[in-house]
Structure 1
């Protein structure tokens, strides 16, 4: 495509680019107008090419002394900022050992988990049995938020449930295991410890929200009795270890409506969408491990 007069950055140009809260050295691989908006296909220096991505113009900076200094100042600020520290989700096993946990102490974005959480009024309802049926799961978000293969899985799972099948629980691949594997895959593509903390913070928020959202809004009617039995049988296990990738996917399918909340500013919304979309692609790429028909049996 020929260079458009509205484009500020050129193909092949060395640039700086925001990824999460930090700025990284990068290269512009492609530059084009998409839906009347300037977009650039960015490769982050030193990162695996799997993380190359299209970004809007407001995330790209000229590679010059002033912006390099901005990059250093931002990293220094994040390193020295005395953020409130939260412990990562560490579910307990009945044998007393810690289960999988996201391997980082998270403090870069301490408000993400809070902003993702169900409001306090909803928390009080988490044990009620009058939760709505999941037949309406994520209609709007499915059309724009999920890879096609995951849309098909949600439809197939709906059939399983209404045929009288339930997921075999505790899950073979728990929601926490899926998140931990994604964290490891993501961390393997970059060297910056602060970027790893951002990914961990987002996933920690997702796991916290999962624990609240699952009993409140993620269960089909036939699954509610199973939930009660599991809660009594495994009182010391976190829900993100009891339930698996399929239930995590249900939550992600509904997450778009959460991001429309005025509690999220534009930057936070973009950040969450970026990582949640990457998590969904990871689940889609590994669906044979995380979403298995044989993990459903007649109740």
Structure 2
């Protein structure tokens, strides 16, 4: 059993790191055990990463869930994601700088982590296809925040809880209240959202907004504050999240069927669920973020 404080990655290791819906090559500068999601997040392994080819101002602390080992399977995943989101402006960095000797050294130093990675890659994979119009929304979402320094106005209406209730109501004629799997999936989506929002679903430019909104809404969960824009980001992460569970293939297939149906419904109702325009961050906010 792995030590509770064991780090999967180490300083100076090259990894693939999620930034938005895509994976980019990054180098781990520092490792630490810290809370990345104050004030109510859990303490855990964290890594200061530098994205290869990006300015130093993009360096950020990320949770372990956003980093993947640099191996053939994950490079294939990187290429697949890039193909799925052709509208992104950032080029996916090349990986030719990796040397065989450094790879061997890392593997010897982290045998337990390699075993963990091999176990992960053998688990059943869930593929959740994102409709093309929602892919475009994800690209616009990324550009609005990271390039144009805009924000999703919060709190959102409808929020995630309301969206899931709207979806449930739309299926009342087709799914009875006794459909336990259907109810469990909706409950699970909300739970995943509340667990992942602060650690996995925010861009760096949004973190100060998150701190501010949490201070003003201490009695509410994230799913009662954030809306469809961030819920859509969760669906991008579901394949990775589910791969870290012990679900069997039948359960995965049932989950996938329900997730795909939610996405189709969101696509059909996107004008009601998703913003067409974001708000510009104030100069004061931008100054705080850059400080």
Quick one: distance in 2 between partners of 1:236 and 1:150?
Answer: 31
Q: Deviations over 1:143-166 (max 9, x none)?
A: 462000110000011111020100
Deviations 1:162-219 (A, max 9, x none): 20100000002111111111111122224x3322x32121111110110110001110
Displaced runs of 4 or more, over 3 A? 125-129, 138-144
- CA–CA distance in 2 between the matches of 1:126 and 1:283? 34
CA pair 123-209 structure 1, distance change in 2 beyond 3 A: farther
Structure 2 vs 1, CA of residues 150 and 283 (structure 1 numbering), >3 Å: closer, same or farther?
same
Deviation per CA, 1:12-55, whole angstroms, max 9, x where unpaired?
xxxxxxxxxxxxxxxxxxxxxxxxxxxxxxxxxxxxxxxxxxxx
Give the match for residue 194 of structure 1. 178
Q: Counterpart of 2:9?
A: none
> 2:50 maps to which residue?
none
Taking the TM superposition and a 5 Å limit, the aligned residue runs for 1:251-266 are 251-261=234-244, 263-266=246-249
Count of residues paired in the alignment: 172
2:187 alignment partner, one of 204, 218, 224: 204
Instruction: Give me the TM-score of the superposition, normalised by structure 2.
Output: 0.54
Is residue 135 of structure 2 the alignment partner of residue 151 of structure 1?
yes
Distance 1:126 1:147, change over 3 A: farther
Map 1:36-185 onto structure 2 (within 5 A). 123-125=42-44, 130-131=61-62, 140=80, 143=84, 145-161=129-145, 162-185=147-170
Q: 1 CA distance for matches of 2:195 and 2:207?
A: 15
Matched, 1:221 2:204: yes
What is the Cα deviation at residue 260 of structure 1?
2.7
Q: Name structure 2 gaps, 5 residues minimum.
A: 1-40, 48-59, 68-76, 85-127, 282-291
* RMSD of aligned alpha carbons: 2.8
Measure the CA separation in 2 of the matches of 1:223 and 1:277: 28
Q: Give 1:131 deviation, angstroms.
A: 3.2
Closer, same or farther: CA 126–281 of 1 in aligned 2, 3 Å = farther
Secondary structure of the residue that 2:279 maps to in structure 1?
A: strand
Using the alignment, how far apart are the partners of 2:46 and 2:183 within structure 1?
28
**Contact 2:46/2:62 (CA < 8 Å) preserved in 1?**
no
Unaligned runs of 5+ in 1: 1-121
